[in-house]
Amino acid sequence: MPSYRLNVNGVDRTVNVSAADMPLLWVLRDVLNLTGTKYGCGIEQCKACTVMMDGQPEKSCVVDISSAAGKRVITIEGLSSDRSHPAQQAWIEHQVPQCGYCQSGMLMGVACAMKAGHHGKEIVSELGGNLCVCGTYQRIKTAVASL
């Protein structure tokens, strides 16, 4: 069984998986038990599986483990240990969370935009394509605009 090394949430990890084309999403969820990253569509459209890879947003449902090897991956669990990231604080302050389907992917997308130096309404315009099934878009936009 091949081994792949990557850094997940600041910890160097070696994972053994049977296929080089196994999506990073399934490595995170099923091998490393980091279930905050969600499966949505599996075709890179809904953004529910967004993680930060080497500082950039990536859809983990289409990134295979061999492509992720050697990279630094941040999941929602690694964004902060105590919900202190400004995006998480905005989500709490504006009471965004409801069903949770899209939340980790949206938060990771926002965190990536913030890391790139974007702010507020600029980030709101970049959120297009994130699927939210419970309809909290207005709260999300308000929270992001406050950043």
Residue 11 maps to which CATH number? 3.10.20.30
pLDDT single digits (tens) 57-102: 999 999 999 999 999 999 999 999 999 999 999 999 999 988 778 8
| CATH number of the domain within which 93 lies | 1.10.150.120
> Quick one: 51 and 89 in the same domain?
no
Q: What are the CA-CA distances from residue 97 to residues 15, 23, 61, 72, 90 (Å)?
A: 32, 27, 23, 27, 11
> Quick one: 14 and 65 in the same domain?
yes
Domain boundaries, position 92: 79-145
> Quick one: 62 and 98 in the same domain?
no
Let me know the angle formed at the C-alpha of 131 by 65 and 93, rounded to the nearest 5 degrees.
100
**Which of 75, 94, 125 represents a domain boundary (last residue)?**
75
> Quick one: 44 and 62 in the same domain?
yes
**Which of 75, 92, 125 represents a domain boundary (last residue)?**
75
> Quick one: 28 and 91 in the same domain?
no
pLDDT single digits (tens) 7-18: 999 999 999 999
pLDDT single digits (tens) 99-134: 778 889 999 999 999 999 999 988 988 777 777 777
d(CA 37, CA 35): 5
pTM: 0.92
- Tell me which residue of 74, 78, 91, 81 sits closest to 139, measured CA to CA: 91
Q: What is the DSSP letter of 23?
A: B
Does the structure show a pLDDT above 90 at 44? no
Structural domains of the chain, count: 2
Mean pLDDT of the chain: 92
